[in-house]
C-alpha cells in the first residue's frame, strides 16, 4: 500500500485512549443461547445442545460454540444514549463516514459453558493510517478481554474496523 498522503486524523485525544480499558459489559452464557447459536451455524455436535452429552465429554454443562461469548444484551434506549455521548469510554471522533469490519479473531484460554457469567472490557490497541484503493483510511485495532466470575481470563477477541 502507498504511503498515506492524507493528513493524519489521529488526534491527541485518540492517542490518549490507546490501551485504556472501557467499561465492563456483562453477558450470560445460557443453555438457550448456546443452542440457538449452534443451530444458526448448523453445528451437529451434541455438546452444544445437550448437558448430558457435554458432561459425558468432560464439560461442566452445554458448551458455548466457537464464536459464542454470551447472549447479546439488549438495552432499551442505549442507542440514543450512545449517540448523545459518543461510544462509551471513547473520546474518538473520526472524520471518515463509512466503516468496514476488517476482521475478527477469537482466542480461547478455557472452555466456556452454559452457566458462566462473562465480563468483558475492550480497549483500542493501535491506529493505522493508509491510503488504499478505497482512498485514505484509518484502521482501528481493538482487543476485548473476557473473564469468568472467578476472574479467569477465558477468551480474548481481536478486531479491526476500517474507517474510510
Minimum CB separation of residue 99 from another protein in Å reads: 12
Q: Are 67 and 107 in contact, with CB atoms under 8 Å apart?
A: no
Minimum CB separation of residue 61 from another protein in Å reads: 16
Minimum CB separation of residue 22 from another protein in Å reads: 18
Hey, which residues does 119 pair with through a beta bridge? 26, 147
CA atoms 54, 56, 61, 67: torsion sign: negative
Kindly tell me which of 45 and 52 has the beta carbon lying closer to another protein. 45
What is the spatial distance between Cα 150 and Cα 31, in angstroms, rounded to a whole number?
20
Strands 25-28 and 99-108: unpaired
Kindly tell me which of 8 and 105 has the beta carbon lying closer to another protein. 105
Residues that bind another protein in the complex, under the rule CB under 8 A: 33, 36-37, 39-45, 47, 57, 65-68, 71-74, 100-108, 111, 158
Minimum CB separation of residue 76 from another protein in Å reads: 14
Kindly tell me which of 11 and 119 has the beta carbon lying closer to another protein. 119
Kindly tell me which of 89 and 102 has the beta carbon lying closer to another protein. 102
Amino acid at each position: 500500500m502507498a504511503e498515506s498522503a492524507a493528513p493524519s486524523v489521529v488526534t491527541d485525544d485518540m492517542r490518549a485512549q490507546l490501551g485504556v480499558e472501557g467499561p465492563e459489559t456483562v453477558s450470560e452464557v445460557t443453555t438457550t443461547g448456546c443452542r440457538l447459536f449452534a443451530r444458526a451455524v448448523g453445528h451437529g455436535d451434541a455438546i452444544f445442545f445437550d448437558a448430558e452429552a457435554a458432561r459425558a465429554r468432560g464439560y461442566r454443562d452445554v458448551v458455548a460454540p466457537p464464536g459464542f461469548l454470551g447472549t447479546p444484551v439488549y438495552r432499551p434506549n442505549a442507542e440514543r444514549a450512545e449517540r448523545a455521548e459518543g461510544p462509551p469510554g471513547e473520546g474518538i471522533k473520526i472524520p471518515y463516514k463509512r466503516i468496514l469490519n476488517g476482521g475478527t479473531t477469537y482466542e480461547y484460554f478455557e472452555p466456556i459453558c452454559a452457566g458462566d457469567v462473562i465480563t468483558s472490557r475492550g480497549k483500542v490497541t493501535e491506529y493505522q493510517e493508509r491510503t488504499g484503493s478505497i482512498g485514505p483510511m484509518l484502521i482501528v485495532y481493538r482487543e476485548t478481554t473476557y473473564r469468568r466470575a472467578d476472574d479467569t481470563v477465558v477468551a480474548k477477541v481481536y478486531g479491526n474496523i476500517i474507517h474510510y
